[in-house]
Amino acid sequence: MRVTIHPQGVSFPAASNRYTREKIRLSLGLFRDKISRVDIFLSKENGHHAAGYIRCGIKVHADGYPPFMVEESAADVAASIDVCLLRTRRAVGRRLDSLQHSRHGPPLII
C-alpha cells in the first residue's frame, strides 16, 4: 500500500509525515492486500465559519474497486487526520465488505 501526503499550504514536518504514514498503515492494515494506494490531502479551509480549520481528505484506491474519498475538518492537522482516518477505516470496511458480498451473492447463513 503506497501512502502519499499532499499538504497544500499547511505546515507538515517530516516527523509528522512518518507518523501519519505509519498510522495509516496500522489503521488500514487489515485491508492492505486490497488497497493499492492512499492519498492524503491537507489544506486550510477558507470562510468565516471555518477560519483556522484544516481539511483532511483521504482517498483510497482499492484493487478492482472504484476509488472513494472521505473528508473531515478540525482545528489542527493532527485532529483532522485522526478523525478522517477513523471515518476512512469504517468506510473501507463497509465498502469493501458490501462490494465483496454483491460480487459473490449474499453470505450463506447456516
CA-closest candidate to residue 20, choices 39, 47, 48? 39
Q: Is pLDDT above 70 for 50? A: no
Contact (Cβ atoms closer than 8 angstroms) between residue 25 and residue 32: yes
pLDDT in tens, 22-36: 999 999 998 988 999
CA distances to 22, 43, 73, 76 from 50, rounded to whole Å, are: 29, 12, 9, 12
Fold of 2-103: Double Stranded RNA Binding Domain (3.30.160)
pLDDT band for 51, please (50, 70, 90 cuts).
low
User: Across the chain, what does the average pLDDT equal?
Assistant: 84
